[in-house]
């Protein structure tokens, strides 16, 4: 009951007009970046971090939460209307949603996505409100040894699972950990890897690296492969009444609920975030559909939009459980929110719920509010979101670069930071180019110092005996759970890959028809190269609609996307 009152207090904070405005701004920006392929919530939060210095913590965190949720809503719009997922967790939505839009049911697809996101987001936030305090109560009891175990879990899962290749993920993680070492050693005050330069003595700021990787690297990457030929937006026809018919609602509500209960748990365990949840939901909807509805799969089944869209929003709330209770980010956006907490000197980790309960509950309450805002805003404003896509990309990325450099300069007001930004940005470009996920590097950089101090503390307690690290029952349990999660995640990954191959094969068949019908297949193929990365094997650089051998068909946005997880969220 205690928690309920705390939540109500959170509402009292979040409902203040000022905070409502911040939430509104957050969800608007979030939806906009969700709509734009190549710009995700993680990049946005990174870019806004220096600008929000002057805000008080609650306002900043509310803005970031709004961006996080808004991105989830926005991604579905482009998936459905353009077959170009604005966001990695909306890739599955494009499968059925775009087919629906082609059949003139775009409005229904958008509506089921939005209402499903709302339903799932709200239920998942309720689950978060009740689950998080319990996890937090458990978390405060853990000591340095257990904390080290948790960090290992976070490192390995984020490193190995966020991305297409385990080795690349771990390499990226290692790079992050290395950059985290630069600067003064916290215990002995020795300088490490500073080359005697006073500029590096304080270490390299996390925000700097995040902005460089997410914004500069991405901008360079997009510039290096400017795509040719715009895509046609499928116009949304019909008024309010055609949005969700009775029949659609009847077919949608079960997938919404199923999506929620698939998405939330997947979000809470570090298994790669919302993407896995969407694919699981889609696969189960496909399996559960009966009769006529089953035949519609691949041709625009509303269940295939309702389920995954619910799942990705539920997973978004699920991700906040380990973030708020243990201080462990499992996605790129969560990592950036963790940085935001650190900026405000808020200790993330087990103590968060105890020491900053007002802030945490205001954040949770703002999730409820943000969800409602998104539902109300999203559908009527579809026209505006589509207009955003008409912004010429050079303008867009020039703006992002200016913002990035301004932000980098404002961290410490030294030009050397801008140089570091550009160097790391170029590194980010090459990482992106060669398929190294970015999220593990950022997570390594954020958690590295905490990990180091906890590890050294545990070893100091045990007088240098490493066995102590696995002797505590809780730590041992965590390691066992880690192994289980790993096995489970690898299994999931394999299933996802099989599923993608299957979908790609289906899409191939569909594409032969599509290619001849409109001749837009070429543009579609190009479109999927900007949003997802090119480095996935068999990625569509040229349109080859009739060859089932290519694992990634032009109209199937699924398979290149497996590589994009790192930037999307």
User: Which long-range contacts link 231-234 to residues 24+ away (Cβ below 8 Å)?
Assistant: 231/82, 231/83, 231/84, 231/520, 231/523, 231/524, 231/527, 232/82, 232/518, 232/520, 232/523, 233/81, 233/82, 233/386, 233/389, 234/81, 234/82, 234/98, 234/101, 234/102, 234/106
Question: Is residue 555 part of the contact set for other proteins (CB under 8 A)?
Answer: no
Residues 54-83 close enough to bind other proteins by CB under 8 A: 82
| Nearer residue to other proteins within complex by CB, 123 or 219 | 219
* Binding map of other proteins across residues 496-525, x = CB under 8 A, - = no contact: ----------------------xxx--x--
CA 459 and chain centroid, separation: 35
Do residues 502 and 518 lie in contact, with contact meaning Cβ atoms separated by under 8 Å? no
Q: Which is nearer to other proteins, 247 or 517 (CB)?
A: 517
What HEC string does 406-464 produce? Answer: HHHHHHHCCHHHHHHHHHHHHHHHHHHHCCCCCHHHHHHHHHHHHHHHHHHHHHHHCCC
Least Cβ distance, residue 228 to other proteins (angstroms): 4
Q: Which of 388, 474 has the CB closer to other proteins? A: 388
DSSP string, 1-15: -HHHHHHHHHHHHHT
Closest CB to other proteins among 149 and 386?
Answer: 386
Per the structure block, which two tokens stand in for 238? 């019909």
Which residue, 37 or 270, is less far from other proteins as judged by CB? 37
Q: What are phi and psi of 183, to 5 degrees?
A: 115, -165
Shortest gap between Cβ of 516 and other proteins (angstroms)?
11
Q: How far is the CB of 517 from other proteins (least distance, A)?
A: 10
Complete DSSP assignment for 248-309: HHHHHHHHHHHHHHHHHHHHHTTSSTHHHHHHHHHHHHHHH--HHHHHHTTT--THHHHHHH
Q: Which of 31, 76, 84, 330 binds other proteins (CB under 8 A)?
A: 84
Considering the rule CB under 8 A, would residue 473 count as an interface residue with other proteins?
Answer: no
User: Taking the complex as a whole, how short is the minimal distance between the CB of residue 231 and other proteins, in angstroms?
Assistant: 6
| CA dihedral over 355, 357, 363, 364, signed as positive or negative | positive
Binding flag, residue 37, other proteins (CB under 8 A): yes
392 binds other proteins (CB under 8 A): yes
Residue closer to other proteins (CB basis): 233 or 375: 233
Interface segment toward other proteins; rule CB under 8 A; list 95-103, 349-357, 392-400, 535-543: 392-400
Is-contact 65 77, C-beta < 8 A?
no
H-state helical runs in 140-194: 144-161, 166-181
Hunting for tokens 């869209």 — which residue is that?
Answer: 309
CB of 226 to other proteins, least distance (A): 7
Interactions with other proteins, residue window 227-246 (CB under 8 A): 227-233
- For other proteins, the closer of residues 327 and 560 by Cβ is 560
- The footprint of other proteins on residues 360-389 (CB under 8 A) is 386, 389
Please work out the total of residues on this chain that contact other proteins, with binding judged by CB under 8 A: 25
Q: Which of residues 177-196 bind other proteins (CB under 8 A)?
A: none
Q: Which of 391, 402, 423, 481 touches other proteins (CB under 8 A)?
A: 391
Shortest CB 390 distance to other proteins, Å: 5
Q: Does residue 102 bind other proteins (CB under 8 A)?
A: no
Q: Applying CB under 8 A, does 47 fall inside the site for other proteins?
A: no
| By the rule CB under 8 A, 543 interacts with other proteins | no
Q: Cβ of residue 397: shortest distance to other proteins, in angstroms?
A: 10
The bridge status of strand 183-184 relative to strand 191-192 is: antiparallel
Instruction: Please give the DSSP secondary-structure letter assigned to residue 90.
Output: G
Return d(Cα 425, Cα 407) in angstroms, integer.
14
Q: Which residues bind other proteins (CB under 8 A)?
A: 36-37, 82, 84, 226-233, 386, 389-394, 518-520, 523, 527, 530
């Amino acid at each position: 009951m205690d928690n309920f009152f705390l939540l109500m207090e959170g509402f009292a904070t979040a409902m203040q007009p000022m905070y409502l405005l911040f939430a509104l701004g957050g969800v608007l920006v979030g939806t906009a970046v969700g709509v734009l392929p190549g710009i995700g919530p993680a990049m946005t939060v990174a870019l806004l971090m220096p600008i929000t210095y002057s805000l008080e913590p609650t306002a900043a965190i509310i803005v970031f939460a709004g961006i996080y949720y808004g991105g989830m809503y926005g991604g579905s719009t482009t998936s459905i209307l353009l077959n170009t997922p604005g966001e990695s967790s909306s890739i599955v939505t494009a499968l059925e949603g775009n087919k629906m839009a082609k059949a003139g049911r775009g409005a229904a697809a958008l509506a089921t996505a939005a209402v499903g996101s709302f339903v799932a987001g709200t239920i998942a936030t309720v689950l978060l409100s009740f689950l998080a305090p319990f996890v937090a109560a458990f978390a405060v009891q853990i000591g340095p040894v257990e904390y080290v175990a948790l960090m290992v879990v976070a490192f390995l899962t984020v490193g190995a699972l966020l991305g297409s290749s385990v080795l690349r993920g771990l390499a990226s993680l290692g790079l992050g950990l290395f950059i985290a070492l630069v600067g003064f050693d916290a215990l002995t005050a020795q300088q490490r890897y500073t080359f005697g330069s006073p500029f590096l003595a304080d270490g390299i700021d996390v925000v700097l690296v995040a902005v460089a990787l997410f914004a500069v690297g991405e901008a360079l990457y997009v510039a290096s492969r400017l795509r040719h030929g715009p895509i046609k937006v499928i116009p949304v026809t019909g008024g309010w009444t055609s949005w969700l018919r009775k029949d659609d609602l009847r077919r949608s509500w079960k997938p919404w609920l199923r999506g929620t209960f698939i998405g939330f748990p997947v979000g809470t365990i570090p298994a790669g975030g919302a993407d896995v949840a969407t694919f699981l939901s889609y696969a189960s909807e496909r399996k559960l559909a009966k009769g006529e509805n089953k035949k519609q799969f691949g041709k625009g089944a509303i269940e295939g939009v309702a389920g995954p869209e619910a799942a990705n929003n539920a997973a978004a709330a699920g991700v906040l459980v380990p973030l708020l209770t243990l201080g462990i980010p499992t996605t790129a956006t969560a990592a950036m929110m963790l940085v935001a907490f650190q900026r405000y000197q808020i200790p993330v980790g087990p103590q968060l719920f105890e020491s900053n309960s007002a802030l945490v509950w205001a954040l949770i309450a703002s999730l409820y509010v943000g969800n409602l805002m998104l539902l109300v805003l999203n559908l009527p404003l579809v026209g505006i979101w589509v207009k955003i896509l008409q912004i010429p990309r050079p303008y867009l990325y020039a703006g992002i670069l200016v913002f990035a450099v301004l932000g980098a300069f404002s961290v410490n007001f030294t030009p050397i930071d801008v140089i570091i930004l550009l160097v790391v940005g170029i590194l980010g470009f090459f990482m992106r180019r060669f398929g190294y996920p970015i999220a593990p590097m950022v997570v390594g950089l954020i958690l590295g110092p905490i990990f180091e101090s906890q590890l050294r503390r545990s070893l100091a307690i045990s007088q240098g005996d490493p066995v102590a690290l696995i002797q505590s029952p809780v730590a041992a349990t965590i390691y066992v759970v880690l192994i289980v999660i790993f096995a489970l995640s690898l299994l999931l990954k394999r299933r996802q890959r099989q599923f993608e191959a299957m979908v790609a094969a289906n899409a191939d068949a569909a594409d032969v028809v599509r290619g001849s019908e409109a001749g837009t297949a070429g543009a579609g193929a190009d479109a999927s190269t900007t949003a997802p990365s090119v480095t996935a094997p068999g990625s569509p650089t040229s349109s080859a609609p009739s060859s089932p051998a290519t694992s990634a068909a032009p109209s199937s946005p699924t398979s290149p996307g497996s590589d994009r997880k790192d930037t999307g969220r």
